[in-house]
């Protein structure tokens, strides 16, 4: 099957793929095919042959030959009515092989255990959902006094370490929208309930790379957290250390913060994510 006609000249595509330039070295045809798949994956509504050529910098004959080869193995498909190329079911099947091994809790467990041993404090893993943080897993420390968060329990974003790490990693406009949709409620006398105070705290979190819950959810409890990012650089989850004020002192905060930053970076790499912007 061959591609149909390109889009009419007066029709503007909804989204254009970013140009992809194959890197030097390796097998050229493989790099070109990967570049085409990357361009197709970035286009929400498919690409014409001309747009594929523009995106990857190939001649029409070369691009068409690669597209039809990908189509033969179901890695690309073309709509005969519109001539638009898109990612095929073969690519989806291969991608699922990665997703099957991407169980976040299972992937995070080894790093969480190492973080617990290194810090001596309880380690938590949480994700954001419907304006709250949901705990997925916890590795408890060996101390008599320790924090406890049952997997599945939900906590506010604005007053928890994991929640503030996730908020700070969002686009500021999206963070403002979430805060407005879920007005901060006082949990303790130290909870930041003023939007201005909370936004200033999120800016500080972005600057240092980790969030601090300083008795804002529970009196006597401190938490330090950093964000784990997905393949788009967006916040996927957060990892945190939590413990009593008696152990998580002011003097220990920078060191514990560095630990959660390293753990979050390792987990970001483990799940195939990319780091966020550096403050």
CATH code for the structural domain at 28-99: 1.10.10.10
pLDDT at 231: 86
Q: Is the pLDDT of residue 131 over 70?
A: yes
Q: Is the pLDDT of residue 171 over 50?
A: yes
Q: What is the largest CA-CA distance in the chain?
A: 71
pLDDT digits (tens, 9 = 90+) for 96-126: 665 554 588 889 999 999 999 999 999 999 9
Q: Is the pLDDT of residue 237 over 50?
A: yes
How far apart CA 70 and CA 66 sit, in angstroms, is 6
Distance of alpha carbon 200 from the chain centroid: 23
pLDDT at 56: 93
Task: Tell me the domain boundaries of the chain.
Answer: 28-99, 103-270
SS3 240: strand
Per-residue pLDDT band for 151 (boundaries 50, 70, 90) equals: confident
Q: What is the pTM of this model?
A: 0.65
Helix (H) or strand (E) holding 266: helix 253-270
pLDDT digits (tens, 9 = 90+) for 133-145: 999 899 988 876 6
Strands 235-244 and 122-129 turn out to be antiparallel
Mean pLDDT for the stretch of residues 63-68: 94
Residue 71: name the closest of 96, 91, 41 by CA. 91
pLDDT at 150: 75
CATH 3.30.450.40 for domain 103-270, yes or no, is: yes
Per-residue pLDDT band for 146 (boundaries 50, 70, 90) equals: low
Per-residue pLDDT band for 27 (boundaries 50, 70, 90) equals: confident
Of residues 221 and 146, more confidence is placed in: 221
Give phi and psi for 49, each to the nearest 5: -60, -40
Per-residue pLDDT band for 7 (boundaries 50, 70, 90) equals: very low
Residue 247: name the closest of 147, 179, 139 by CA. 147
Per-residue pLDDT band for 18 (boundaries 50, 70, 90) equals: very low
């Amino acid at each position: 099957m061959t591609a149909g006609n390109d889009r009419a000249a007066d029709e503007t595509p909804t989204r254009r793929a970013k140009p992809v330039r194959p890197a030097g070295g390796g097998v050229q045809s493989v790099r070109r095919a990967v570049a085409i798949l990357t361009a197709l994956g970035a286009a929400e509504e498919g690409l014409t042959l001309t747009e594929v050529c523009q995106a990857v910098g190939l001649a029409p004959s070369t691009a068409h030959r690669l597209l039809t080869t990908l189509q033969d193995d179901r890695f690309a498909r073309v709509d005969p009515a519109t001539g638009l190329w898109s990612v095929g079911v073969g690519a989806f099947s291969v991608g699922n092989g990665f997703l099957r091994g991407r169980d976040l809790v299972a992937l995070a467990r080894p790093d969480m255990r190492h973080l617990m041993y290194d810090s001596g404090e309880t380690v938590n893993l949480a994700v954001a959902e419907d304006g709250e943080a949901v705990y997925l897993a916890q590795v408890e420390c060996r101390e008599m006094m320790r924090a406890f968060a049952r997997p599945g329990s939900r906590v506010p974003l604005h007053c928890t370490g994991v929640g503030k790490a996730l908020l700070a990693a969002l686009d500021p406009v999206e963070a403002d929208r979430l805060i407005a949709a879920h007005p901060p409620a006082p949990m303790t006398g130290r909870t930041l309930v003023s939007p201005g105070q909370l936004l200033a705290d999120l800016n500080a979190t972005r600057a240092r790379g980790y969030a601090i819950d300083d008795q804002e959810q529970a009196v006597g409890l401190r938490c330090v957290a950093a964000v784990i990012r997905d393949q788009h650089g967006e916040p996927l989850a957060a990892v945190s250390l939590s413990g009593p004020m008696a152990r998580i002192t002011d003097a220990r905060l920078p060191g514990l913060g560095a630990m959660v930053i390293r753990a979050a970076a390792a987990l970001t790499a483990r799940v195939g994510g990319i780091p966020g912007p550096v403050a």
